[in-house]
Amino acid sequence: MNQQNHLNQKQLGLVKAICASLIMGLPAITLAPSVAIASETNPCPKIYYEEPFNNTRPVPQGCPANEAPQQLNPESETVPLTGEPLPTGVSQPPLPETQTAPVTRIIPKGQRVSVTLKNNTNALITYEAIGHTEERTLVGREEVVLQNLPLPVTITTVRQDAGLLDVITKSTQPGMLEVLLEADPTFDDIKGTISIQEDGRVYIN
């Protein structure tokens, strides 16, 4: 009887060892397919085919087209972002995500422009012609003329009291641009950036 009990305990130990190794190996077996599934990515996510992205974002290369390519300008030229300065005489167009129609166009005079800034607010406004002037302050209800700025040029304006600022431009005569800085409660920014391209196109961001 003792011998049979000893034999049953050996068999029970063997069954326990087999069960334990099965239990230990089971997670590895079930994890292998899930790891393989997780590593596969969808090259054409369906978000590119749903509103509003189906007509505002182009699909990744190799995916079926959505409505965006018909609305984007296929003739637009891309400018590589190499970090190197552009050669002299090449104007820097706005980046695609900020590209809009120019607000006005001026006739440059000898690749130069003079800009009149008129502060029609009651607040201090700081301004700078990037690369040509230091940051300066324009008192409320005053104006200043930045003369003979080489094109292309970018001018930044910031209202110091955190009030809202609207930038209005108009071309008064060849080689001249007038910029009105207005207080506007319906506008959504305290600053404005005026970019004047070499061909006379004027953009505001």
For residues 6, 7, 12, 16, the Cα torsion angle rounded to the nearest 10 degrees is: 100
User: pLDDT of the chain along its 205 residues, tens only?
Assistant: 556 656 567 777 777 777 676 666 665 555 545 444 444 567 787 777 777 777 777 777 778 888 765 444 444 344 444 445 545 545 555 555 456 788 999 999 999 999 999 999 999 999 999 999 999 999 999 999 999 999 999 999 999 888 888 899 998 899 999 999 998 777 666 678 999 999 999 998 8
Q: pTM of the predicted model, to two decimals? A: 0.53
Q: Can you spell out the DSSP letters for 52-81?
A: TGGGTSPPPTTSPP-SHHHHS-TTPPP---
Each domain of the chain, given as residue ranges in start order, spans: 101-204
A 10 A CB-CB count for 20 gives 10
CATH code for the domain defined by 101-204: 2.60.40
In angstroms, the CA 129 to CA 179 distance is: 13
